[in-house]
Amino acid sequence: MGHNNMSTRAEQLASDIADAILAGVFAPGARLDEQGLADRYGVSRTPVREALRLLGHTGLVEIRPRRGATVAEMTAERVDEMFVAMGEIEATCARLCALGMTPIDRRRLEALHERMGQMVKKRNEPDYAEANIAFHSAIYAGTHNSLLIEIATSLRRRLSPFRRAQFRAPGRLALSHAEHDGVVKAILRGDAAEAHCAMLRHVNLVENAYEQVSATATRRPRRATK
Amino acid sequence: MGHNNMSTRAEQLASDIADAILAGVFAPGARLDEQGLADRYGVSRTPVREALRLLGHTGLVEIRPRRGATVAEMTAERVDEMFVAMGEIEATCARLCALGMTPIDRRRLEALHERMGQMVKKRNEPDYAEANIAFHSAIYAGTHNSLLIEIATSLRRRLSPFRRAQFRAPGRLALSHAEHDGVVKAILRGDAAEAHCAMLRHVNLVENAYEQVSATATRRPRRATK
DNA sequence: ATCGGCGATATTGCATACAATTTCCCGGGA
DNA sequence: TCCCGGGAAATTGTATGCAATATCGCCGAT
């Protein structure tokens, strides 16, 4: 998943263990005992401990003092909550973009949006998926608020396992771009309220299109957020 | 600062070191070497390391791999960013309260707000300050979103050192309550947009009333957010 | 005099050993 | 049968020792 430095063994381990969890090697709720992981990865307990703490902060594992670490159980309710929070954060970012994006920011966002339009015409799903990440990152960056950028980026990573197959359905590509269009237009014209609203609609639709990976309970429809 | 369990030495240390930093024992930018802290607090390097990682996640110290830990330098810009983020998060919480608070939640919020009105009449600043925390916590809880609750609570803790002397000025108590009134009324009537807006105004005023503790550069006025 | 390489020193990262706490199992009693 | 207490085993928390890397100062060259 390599966006990390991997400079220390603990970080490598954290990444490896995270991959293993997402790959289903360690089931949700499973106990992660330090010695076992140390043996498995051929290191001592010390870096394993650090890795587990790191993962504890990302929410992937739950750590209770003196009672060990377990793979965090992602209930449907919990995933719901994360999507709601993500939506609100992204909407907030869009709002701040409308209020404070520099002219350069705006031109870049517009150019990216334009390019994504071409991809839609060519039905180029892989490139669009990649550009989509860049698009949302640009919205985060447009806030010029490193804390919000950090929160949004981290949340996005945490939710990535639940975002499979977004653009596979036939009309999804064009629909996504149309929603983006509403967001971009509102931002460019400095309409904070509409930017917020448009982004919220966008991410809620994304959410409704997701399918859960873990075999937990089926989801019920959520209330509309106005 | 005791909201922690203090069950392990690392947690105690994290709390102690945090207090020391906030008390100015360790100046911003100062190096925090593990052995030195271990000697100082009479423990070994291991729990010190864990404590430093914990503090790294709260933002109080900066950790660079193989290059040690230093007390995070809180520039005026950084504090600004944190207040902006806090404002947006709280406004979002208020919005979600307006949309999804249960009748019980609403009654409790109203009752608390009412009690705070009494405190204003009696000029009871200490109780009001305490109730104010409960008020904002109630807004977080009203989202019924544990992730947002966690984010908001953690941010509030991080900002607490920069929130000294909020209610000392003569009119502040009544003013705060009046702003709360706008928020509460909007929430109770289910007006999401107005709840968002009112809360944003409220926290922005709080921000403008803060005085920075660390002796960094003087602040400039920030742009209006609408 | 300044800059750049090189070696000593200090500090972090990792491994191992020990202590403290929890967990689990088993036996006894109601 | 179920509940409860006690003790052994397992696991986490802490201390210490060793290895790897960064930092700092010295010396020589330009």
Q: What is the pLDDT of residues B111-157, one digit of tens each?
A: 999 999 999 999 999 999 999 999 999 999 999 999 999 999 999 98
Predicted pLDDT of residue A161: 80
Q: Do B82 and A147 touch (CB under 8 A)?
A: yes
B85/chain A closest Cα distance in angstroms? 6
pLDDT class of B226 with cuts at 50, 70, 90? very low
Residue A100 with chain B: CB contacts under 8 Å: 223
| Closest of B141, B147, B94 to residue A84, by C-alpha | B147
B52 closest-nt by C1' vs CA: C12
Whether the Cβ atoms of residue A74 and residue A40 lie closer than 8 Å to each other: no
pLDDT in tens, B151-198: 999 999 888 888 866 676 768 899 999 999 999 999 999 999 999 999
**φ, ψ for residue B31, nearest 5 deg:** -80, 140
DSSP track, chain A: ---S---SHHHHHHHHHHHHHHTTSS-TT-EE-HHHHHHHHTS-HHHHHHHHHHHHHHTSEEE-TTS-EEEPP--HHHHHHHHHHHHHHHHHHHHHHHHH--HHHHHHHHHHHHHHHHHHHTT-HHHHHHHHHHHHHHHHHTT--HHHHHHHHHHHHHHGGG-TTSS-STTHHHHHHHHHHHHHHHHHTT-HHHHHHHHHHHHHHHHHT---SS--PPP-PPPP--
Q: Which residues pair with B109 in a beta bridge?
A: none
Residue B220, CB, strand D, below 7 Å: no
State the fold for domain B76-208. Answer: Four Helix Bundle (Hemerythrin (Met), subunit A) (1.20.120)
pLDDT class of A183 with cuts at 50, 70, 90? very high
pLDDT class of A19 with cuts at 50, 70, 90? very high
Over residues A157-178, the mean pLDDT reads 81
pLDDT class of B210 with cuts at 50, 70, 90? low
Span CA (B7) to C1' (C21), Å: 11
Residue A226, CB, strand C, below 7 Å: no
B113/chain A closest Cα distance in angstroms? 26
**Percent of the residues in chain A that have a pLDDT greater than 70, as a whole number:** 86
Residue B40, CB, strand D, below 7 Å: no
Residue B45, CB, strand C, below 7 Å: yes
Domains A9-71 and A76-208 agree in fold: no
Residue A156, CB, strand D, below 7 Å: no
State how far the Cα of B177 lies from the Cα of B119, in Å rounded to an integer.
Answer: 10
Q: Is the pLDDT of residue B225 over 70?
A: no
Residue B85 with chain A: CB contacts under 8 Å: 145, 147-148, 151
Predicted pLDDT of residue B204: 83
State how far the Cα of B192 lies from the Cα of A12, in Å rounded to an integer.
Answer: 44
Residue B54 with chain A: CB contacts under 8 Å: 53
Of chain A residues 54-83, which have a beta carbon within 7 Å of strand D?
Answer: 65-69
Predicted pLDDT of residue B140: 98
pLDDT in tens, B74-94: 888 998 999 999 999 999 999
| Closest of A226, A182, A171 to residue A204, by C-alpha | A226
Predicted pLDDT of residue A6: 80
Query: Best interface-test mutation with B: which of A52, A83, A92 has the largest number of B CBs within 10 A?
Result: A92
Residue A5, CB, strand D, below 7 Å: no
Predicted pLDDT of residue B109: 98
pLDDT in tens, B55-65: 999 999 999 99
Nucleotides of D under 7 A from a protein CB: 10-17, 21-23
Length of chain B: 226
Domain extents for chain B? Answer: 9-71, 76-208
**Percent of the residues in chain A that have a pLDDT greater than 90, as a whole number:** 75
Over residues A178-193, the mean pLDDT reads 97
**φ, ψ for residue A3, nearest 5 deg:** -110, 5
CA terminus-to-terminus distance, chain A: 36
Q: Do B145 and A95 touch (CB under 8 A)?
A: no
Predicted pLDDT of residue B208: 60
Q: Is the pLDDT of residue A38 over 80?
A: yes
Span CA (A36) to C1' (D10), Å: 12
Query: Best interface-test mutation with B: which of A95, A96, A147 has the largest number of B CBs within 10 A?
Result: A147
Please indicate whether residue A205 or residue A220 has the higher confidence score (pLDDT).
A205
Q: Is the pLDDT of residue B104 over 80?
A: yes
Residue B225, CB, strand C, below 7 Å: no
**φ, ψ for residue A31, nearest 5 deg:** -80, 140
> Span B9-71: which CATH code?
1.10.10.10
**φ, ψ for residue A169, nearest 5 deg:** -60, 145
Nucleotides of C under 7 A from a protein CB: 11-17, 21-23
**Which of B85, B192, B226 is closest, CB to CB, to A147?**
B85
Residue nearest to nucleotide D23 (CA to C1'): B67
Residue B78 with chain A: CB contacts under 8 Å: 146
pLDDT, averaged across chain A: 88
**Which of A7, A57, A226 is closest, CB to CB, to B192?**
A226
Over residues A137-145, the mean pLDDT reads 98
Q: Do A148 and B88 touch (CB under 8 A)?
A: yes
CA B224 centroid distance within chain: 21
pLDDT in tens, B18-53: 999 999 999 999 999 999 999 999 999 999 999 999
Whether the Cβ atoms of residue B65 and residue A8 lie closer than 8 Å to each other: yes
Length of chain A: 226
Residue of B nearest to A154 (CA): B151
